[in-house]
Chains A and B, each alone.
Chain A
Amino acid sequence: MNDHYHENCQALLSSLSEYIDGELPQELCAEIEKHLEGCDNCRIVLNTTRRTIDLVQGPTSEEVVPDDVRDRLFKRLNLDEYLSPKH
């Protein structure tokens, strides 16, 4: 399916991260969006890259250090007296 990865597509690829992160000037975004309208492959690369980032991020905000790991950490640092309650 990669039978025509054009120069424009390669240019988009090099700016893809910054486009996703909203770090490109407006004129460049407009140019990229114009290209995306007519290029299925680049649209797919953009959509799947965004999704990839979401998926790897996962539910990280809900992750916490397990209690037993925290206990051992405080003991190792000689901070046992501050173990409970959680600061």
Chain B
Amino acid sequence: MGNSTTHDFSIEALQSGDRAEFARLVDAYSTQIYRLGLKMLGNQQDAEDILQNTFLNAITHMKSFEGRSSLSTWLYRIAANEALMLIRKRKPNINIEDIQHEDADEIPLPETFVDWSVLPEKELLTGEAQKAIEAAVKKLPESLRMVFILRDVEDLSIKETAEVLNLTEVNVKTRLLRARMALREQLSSYYAERTLSKEKP
């Protein structure tokens, strides 16, 4: 979902209320938005709510879209806000200091040094392993999870991710590195056991 897709839609038609054009827009972007909701909230019902609210909001605010960002970035911004609002509704006690901490320069040092990347694909992707991967993503603090999903799952650039989340590129890079390191550490604890047990005679 890069910038180029913006040019596939007529902003003029969308802003004048052309419903066929809006239906095309919904089909073009709903997979990405649903997936973002699914990865952020971890369940289908919330992902569906985020999907519906994102496009309801987009219809309402289409006229105020000024084209300063791409259409996809604009939609992701609405979806990301919807997801974060829903998370805050569920967990009203997020500590602002935690978020500031996530932007600090210092990156926690790696602790597990087992090269499980050499394990065969079928062992890395067992049903149990998939659950461990999902749990690891879920365990990330929201602000890191959002950056990781936009950058590494949805393949947005650092600049696009910064635009979506209204962050500086430096902050996006720091959060991305923290997210990747935290996930690596968690998956390392999971896979290291399997790697080491294989190495034993």
Contact = CB atoms under 8 A, between A and B. Distances in A.
Interface of A: 1-2, 5, 10, 13-14, 16-18, 20, 23, 40-41, 43-45, 47-53, 55-58, 60, 63-65, 69-70, 72-74, 76-79, 81-82, 86-87
B52 A73 contact: yes
B41 interface: no
7 contacts: A16-B177, A51-B117, A52-B180, A53-B152, A69-B51, A73-B51, A77-B22
Interface string B109-125: 11111111110000011
Interface residues of B, number: 48
B133 A47 contact: no
B183 interface: yes
Interface stretch (B30-38, B64-72, B87-95): B30-38
Could you tell me the dominant secondary structure of chain B's interface residues?
helix
Nearest to B183: A52
Contacts of A57: 152-153
B116 A73 contact: no
A87 B23 CA distance: 7
A48 B137 contact: no
